[in-house]
Amino acid sequence: MFECFPAHSAALETRIIAIHPYTIPEWIVVPAAHVTEKYLSWARENTQALLL
């Protein structure tokens, strides 16, 4: 399972599909209906742009 900001979802999907050993890997995106401000602040401070 991966967690990422919506802006990075397409790039992450492309990379996972490119390197996954299955012909058709499962890819499901579940949007967060609510995230606490404390967690969102932490996520923004502790994540970097994808280096794919």
Count of other CB atoms within 10 angstroms of residue 21: 5
Question: Model confidence over 1-52: pLDDT tens digits?
Answer: 888 888 889 999 999 999 999 999 999 999 999 999 999 999 888 887 655 5
Query: Tokens 């995106």 appear where?
Result: 29
- Annotate 7-48 with DSSP letters as a single string: GGHHHHHHHHHHH-SSSS--------S---HHHHHHHHHH--
pLDDT score of 36 = 97
**Is 3 in a helix, a strand, or coil?**
coil
Q: Specify the amino acid at residue 38.
A: K
